[in-house]
Chains A and B, each alone.
With several copies, the nearest count.
Chain A
Amino acid sequence: MDLSLTNEQQLLQDSIRKFISTQYSLSERNKFIKEDQGYDSSNWQQFADLGWLAMTFSEEYGGLGGSTVDSMIMLEEFGKRLVVEPFLSTVVLFGAAIELAGTPQQKQSLIPSIIEGKLIGTFAYAEPVEPNNLSAIQTRATAEDSGFALNGSKSLVFNAISADKILLSARTSGEDFDEQGISLFIVDAQATGLTRTDYLTVDGLSASELQLKNVRVESDDLLGSLGSAGGLIQSLVNKGILGLAAEAIGTMEVLYKSTIEYTKQRQQFDHALADFQVLKHRMTDMFVDYNLVKSLCMKATMLEALGAAEAQRNIHALKYLVGKTGRFIGQNAVQLHGGMGMTEELAIAHYFKRLLVIDAQFGNTDHHLNKFVG
């Protein structure tokens, strides 16, 4: 057991740190989100050129053979500057799905494009009826000719606005809430019958509601086996949770540290705020809770990378703690910044909002606590 970074991991971390410190100030970030597709394309090309997009794919298709641990290292750094490029959607979710369940043809046609930065993908799994229930799939895929016709709707699909391909769950058999009968399809984002309602999320990212009316897919757009995608969807959700958790760790670190810095500067009643014992202890609590989540994030990530059965419990516990601690740290960062914490201008507002959106995705605090206790 050795929890220090390998040399390769250290290099990876350094390269991201260098990138964000030179090219990714918060004000630049807030410009990137205003671009049409919700991020900066030249950044994305740099991600590709630096090999970051290749990191977790198998060598056979041009990847570097890394694991979820490498994603964690990258996303933790991204979280420190609220990086908006669609890494989670394209690599951690869409890309991993192809890697895990694609046919050789699917892999060959998609993975190299992702690695080169030419293909943006995303994952549409939630539906309005019960978004946290992965089996609550009312979108129907009806077999016809050599393919399927898709009808239904999907909620909170991040980066759909810029996506080339959307991985989408649909029901090929069974009743609305059955665990069985769910399949995954790779859908062209420009497909006829697919309409989007685009909106911004609280943290300034782009998401969409999707409506599908007789959207046509071919049988080789099916990912994995017909009617039994449940396990794969759960795996992807797990990867999504781990990715968000890593990002949240980075985000929380910035929040608690900048709160410490602020309170050292800010004077009140003739003392620095940092001199007040109650505030010192509050920041200590923030530090303690941050470290607990960080530990669990490392543990759950490594267990998932090993394919250990106990990963699942740890992931539920992790998402619960990420939500709870994110809110605790965010709220107290705002509280300790006083009035300043209430303004849109200040960095901490953006960090806090990102944590709220992270909590909302893939089931929030409450949802995972209940899953964890069974």
Chain B
Amino acid sequence: MDIEFSQDDLAFQQKVVSFIKANLPRGMEMWTKRNEWFQALRDQGGWDIPKWPVEYGGPGFTPTQRYIFDLEMARHATPPQIPFGVGMLAPILMNYGSKQQIDRFMPGIRDGSVNWCQGYSEPGAGSDLANLKTKAELSEDGSYYLVNGQKTWTTLAHIAHWMFCLTRTSSAGAKQEGITFLLIPMDDPGVETRPIITLGGSHSVNEVYLTDVKVPVTNRIGEEGKGWTYAKGLLVHERTGLAGIQNSVLALEKAKANAREIKAGEGSLMDLPSFKNKVGALEAELLALEFTELRTLSQVSAGQGPGPESSILKLKGTEIQQRISELNIEAAGIYAAPWGATPIGPDFARGATSGYLGGRATTIYGGASEVQKDVIAKNVLGLG
């Protein structure tokens, strides 16, 4: 049992940190120089696609290198990648796509020229995703599917060129059967996108209405009726990614720094017993969660699958994200009340409430916490 990284791993860590320091855009450049950053990653030999296999251009990281890479990227708050193409569709394509589909779609994903969105959730199919109703009927000549239905909570649908989409081709058998995985161009006249403004006041999710959209069978991934199998593996993957533990470490440090600037009596808010204790309780759990992620990594490095403790990462990680965002509104005090662009009160207070409200989604999307607990109880603890 050894907590230290090997010399090789430390050298790799050094390399990653140096790269970040040399290439990371600062301040407002975060938004304007995004593309340059991803190009620099690409130029390193697949650092933009750290999880891809070597044959598709991935960098071939060991599990420990992957962890170090993710850790340093998070620690330095590098710009997040939009996950739908690179992270979500690509693995499915690589595993289940035809040679033709791979040749057609992978390049646009690889160079970031094509934006994808994920058409899974529906008004009646959220946590219970297999309940989806969007209908895809095969034409008589078997050349296309006619798709009708509604998707919702579709992140970035309004800037996407394509959607990968779960549709129902049969209602026989279990809900999980009869689901088919289709790729749909967003510029089809039957596709209509309407914005949803969320609690935090922002527009990133949408409703997508599909009316008589004709999707050629060549846009179907794998077999008809097997879509659930293809998508399922990824859902699990999506969940661990949502723990955002390193982001929380940064966010908590920021929250503490902000609270130190808020005058409260003789000292700062960080001297106020109730606030201080909440910070402490949270930080202790975060320390523990951070190391839980390492335990998971260590098992994967040792060639075992992730152990049962990996199941807690999303559950606890999102809870901690939310508690940090609560600290921020508490620290903002009366300045948690102003809304909108006018700068009122301390800088951090401006985004505190919208961050808190927007963050309520983390325990709902990607498997609501209640559903996560059902799953852990059943699959890990053998309950019911």
Chain A: residues with CB nearer than 8 A to chain B? Answer: 1-6, 9, 69, 126, 128-133, 136, 155-156, 197, 199-202, 204, 207, 209, 260, 263-264, 267-269, 274-281, 283-285, 287-288, 291-296, 298-299, 302-303, 306, 314, 317, 320-321, 327, 331, 334-335, 338-339, 341-345, 349, 352-353, 356-357, 359-361, 363-367, 369-370, 372-373
With A130-B263, A200-B340, A298-B1 as given contacts, are A360 and B363 in contact (CB-CB < 8 Å)? no
Smallest CB–CB gap between B144 and chain A, Å? 31
Bound-state CA distance A194–B213 (Å) is 60
Report B-chain residues with C-beta under 8 Å of the C-beta of A280: 373-374, 377-378, 381, 383-384
Q: Which of B305-328 contact A (CB under 8 A)?
A: 308-309, 312, 315-316, 322, 326
Bound-state CA distance A44–B28 (Å) is 46
Do A339 and B333 touch (CB < 8 A)? no
Q: Mark B51-81, 1 if CB is under 8 A from A, else 0.
A: 0000000000000100000000000000000
Bound-state CA distance A2–B297 (Å) is 9
Do B274 and A4 touch (CB < 8 A)? no
Q: Which of B333-384 contact A (CB under 8 A)?
A: 333-340, 342, 344-345, 353, 356-357, 360-361, 363-365, 368-370, 373-374, 376-378, 380-384
Do A338 and B334 touch (CB < 8 A)? no
Bound-state CA distance A131–B333 (Å) is 8
Q: A209-B344, A295-B309, A360-B334 are in contact. List 5 more A-B contacts (CB 8 A).
A: A131-B334, A280-B384, A296-B284, A335-B369, A360-B333
CB < 8 Å: which of A283, A287, A306, A372 contacts B283? A372
Do A201 and B370 touch (CB < 8 A)? no
Among the 9-residue stretches B82-90, B92-100, B223-231, B288-296, the one with 4 or more Cβ atoms under 8 Å from chain A is: B288-296
Do B288 and A317 touch (CB < 8 A)? yes
Q: Say yes or no: is B29 at the interface (Cβ < 8 Å to chain A).
A: no
Closest to A365 in B: B330
Q: Say yes or no: is B127 at the interface (Cβ < 8 Å to chain A).
A: yes
Bound-state CA distance A260–B380 (Å) is 11
CB < 8 Å: which of B280, B338, B376 contacts A284? B376
Q: Say what secondary structure dominates the interface of chain B.
A: helix
Bound-state CA distance A320–B316 (Å) is 18
Q: Say yes or no: is B240 at the interface (Cβ < 8 Å to chain A).
A: no
Bound-state CA distance A365–B287 (Å) is 16
Q: Which of B130-177 contact A (CB under 8 A)?
A: 131, 152-153
Do B291 and A268 touch (CB < 8 A)? no
Q: Say yes or no: is B184 at the interface (Cβ < 8 Å to chain A).
A: no
CB < 8 Å: which of A69, A156, A287, A345 contacts B380? A287
Among the 9-residue stretches B2-10, B15-23, B110-118, the one with 4 or more Cβ atoms under 8 Å from chain A is: B2-10
Report A-chain residues with C-beta under 8 Å of the C-beta of B374: 277, 280-281
Bound-state CA distance A6–B4 (Å) is 14
Smallest CB–CB gap between B352 and chain A, Å? 10
Report A-chain residues with C-beta under 8 Å of the C-beta of B127: 268-269, 338
Do A372 and B381 touch (CB < 8 A)? no
Chain B: residues with CB nearer than 8 A to chain A? Answer: 1-6, 9, 64, 121, 124, 126-128, 131, 152-153, 196-199, 201, 263-265, 272-281, 283-285, 287-289, 291-292, 294-295, 298-299, 301-302, 308-309, 312, 315-316, 322, 326, 329-330, 332-340, 342, 344-345, 353, 356-357, 360-361, 363-365, 368-370, 373-374, 376-378, 380-384
Bound-state CA distance A130–B281 (Å) is 24
Report A-chain residues with C-beta under 8 Å of the C-beta of B356: 356
Do B338 and A156 touch (CB < 8 A)? yes
Do A6 and B201 touch (CB < 8 A)? no
CB < 8 Å: which of B274, B316, B364 contacts A338? B364
Bound-state CA distance A279–B369 (Å) is 12
With A280-B374, A373-B276 as given contacts, are A260 and B298 in contact (CB-CB < 8 Å)? no
Do B298 and A3 touch (CB < 8 A)? yes
Report B-chain residues with C-beta under 8 Å of the C-beta of A155: 334-335, 344-345
CB < 8 Å: which of A5, A201, A283 contacts B377? A283
Report B-chain residues with C-beta under 8 Å of the C-beta of A359: 329, 336
Do A364 and B345 touch (CB < 8 A)? no
Do A4 and B199 touch (CB < 8 A)? no
Do A317 and B199 touch (CB < 8 A)? no
Smallest CB–CB gap between A362 and chain B, Å? 9
Closest 9 CB pairs of A and B: A373-B280, A3-B298, A302-B3, A317-B284, A292-B288, A280-B377, A296-B288, A295-B291, A344-B197
CB < 8 Å: which of A260, A263, A295 contacts B292? A295
With A207-B338, A295-B292, A339-B126 as given contacts, are A199 and B197 in contact (CB-CB < 8 Å)? no
Do A287 and B1 touch (CB < 8 A)? no
Report A-chain residues with C-beta under 8 Å of the C-beta of B264: 130, 132-133
Do A320 and B198 touch (CB < 8 A)? no
Bound-state CA distance A344–B281 (Å) is 32
Report B-chain residues with C-beta under 8 Å of the C-beta of A353: 199, 357
Closest to A281 in B: B373
Closest to A136 in B: B263
Report B-chain residues with C-beta under 8 Å of the C-beta of A306: 3-4
